Amino acid sequence: MDSLTHIVLGACVGEAFFEKGFGKKAMVWGILAQSIPDIDFIASFWLNNPDSLLAHRGFTHSILFALLIVPVFSITADRIHKPHNILFKKWVLFFTTEIFAHLFIDAFNNYGIGWFEPFSHFRFSFNIIYVADPFFSIVPGISFIVLMVLNRYHLKRKLWWKLGIIFPIIYLTYCCINKIKIDNDIDKSLKSQNISVAHYFSTPAPLQNWLWYIVVPHEDGFYVGYRSVFDHQGEIDFKYFKKNEHFLSRVSDHEELQKLKRFSKGYYTAERIHDTIIFNDLRFGQTFGWRYPNNIFVFHYYLKHPQNNNLLIQRGRFSNWDFGEMKYYLHRVVGI
């Protein structure tokens, strides 16, 4: 999830653990603990783009890192706040909950997370919720603000931290239900169109959980489409994109290309525009693909011009989102 969501959730969990007597210090510790796995952003200052992509949500999001950092946080907090009556095992349980909650929630996005780094480079991704979903974050965000404003002994504090934790759990469960429905619709549509596949990829389109983006590998390319949980039409309208592996043959031994392929989990295509070869990671969607199925993919990497590869994950994602495009997007979300 986005950093702001981890901050507000961490604060709510901190309040839940300690409540009265420890003031708002627990909220601060919760924020720090929920944020520490994202310290890997520092690596982007000296790594190239492919290495930075693999470093993010790598070791600092692993179970090993969590097991190493929990004692560090526990010992530090225990010493800073002496004298106190908080058992050391409560510190350990608190920081374990915070950090593992971060690792668990991040696995629900399509970026992927290396739980078993450095022993395995496999990335877990459930593809159930968009990385920044305001419907997931709004209640814990409001709870965070209220908890910061209320007196530390106010009787309503318990109500607010409960709302800040329980609502995201309920919403995430609802997202899982949507995922099941969408995948069932995909299976039916593929069968009716006589498209035989071993696996496919489905994940929410930006900022919500009702319109989903779908990528289906087939022969030497991919079918790409969109499906709303509110759609009434039976079949999904797919657009086919060739993989164009031959465009990559001249740079097949290029180290950056091998890292990009590993990051994409095989969901990639190549394009040649004039003298430039572009690598597309299909997992991150298209710009307005629900309206313009031929549009470019958000993640496109210039293999011959690496200096032009900033903001890879969200390149052009939200550019030109005027009132008209937003209105059409909402229309597509509510179904056709």
Query: Of 20-29, 73-82, 237-246, 291-300, where does mean pLDDT reach its minimum?
Result: 20-29
3-state DSSP call for residue 306?
A: helix
Structure confidence at residue 313 (pLDDT): 62
Query: Are the beta carbons of 222 and 269 closer than 8 angstroms?
Result: yes
Q: Are 111 and 313 in contact (CB under 8 A)?
A: yes
pLDDT for 308 = 60
**Mean pLDDT, residues 206-217 taken together:** 97
Which of 143-147, 228-232, 264-268, 304-308 has the lowest average pLDDT? 304-308
In the structure, what pLDDT confidence band is assigned to residue 312 with cuts at 50, 70 and 90? low
Q: What is the pTM of this model?
A: 0.92
Average pLDDT over residues 102-120: 96
Predicted confidence band of residue 45 (pLDDT cuts 50, 70, 90): confident
Neighbours of 276 (CB within 10 A): 12
CA-to-CA dists, residue 229 to 63, 263, 334, angstroms: 34, 29, 8
293-307 per-position pLDDT tens digit: 999 999 988 887 665
Mean pLDDT of 61-89: 94
Of 27-36, 186-195, 244-253, 315-324, least confident by mean pLDDT is 315-324
pLDDT at 264 over 70: yes
What are the pLDDT digits (tens) for 118-130? 999 999 999 999 9
pLDDT for the residue 316: 64
Whether 20 shows a pLDDT value over 80: the answer reads: no
Lowest mean pLDDT among 17-31, 251-265, 282-296, 300-314: 300-314
| 116, pLDDT greater than 60 | yes
Could you tell me the two tokens for 131? 């990385």
Reported as a pLDDT band with limits 50, 70 and 90, residue 250 is confident
Q: Which of 102, 105, 114, 109 is nearest to 128 (CA)?
A: 109
Answer positive or negative: Cα dihedral of 245, 250, 251, 252.
positive
pLDDT given at position 239 = 96
What would the pLDDT profile of 189-206 be if each residue is shown by its tens digit?
999 999 999 999 999 999
Say if residue 310's pLDDT is above 70. Answer: no
> How far apart are alpha carbons 132 and 19 in whole angstroms?
28
Residues contacting residue 232 through CB under 8 Å, at least 6 positions apart: 335, 336
pLDDT for 166 beyond 80: yes
Is pLDDT at 267 greater than 70 in this prediction?
A: yes
CB 332 within 8 A of CB 228: yes
Tokens 């709870």, residue located: 143
pLDDT of residue 217 exceeding 60, the answer is yes
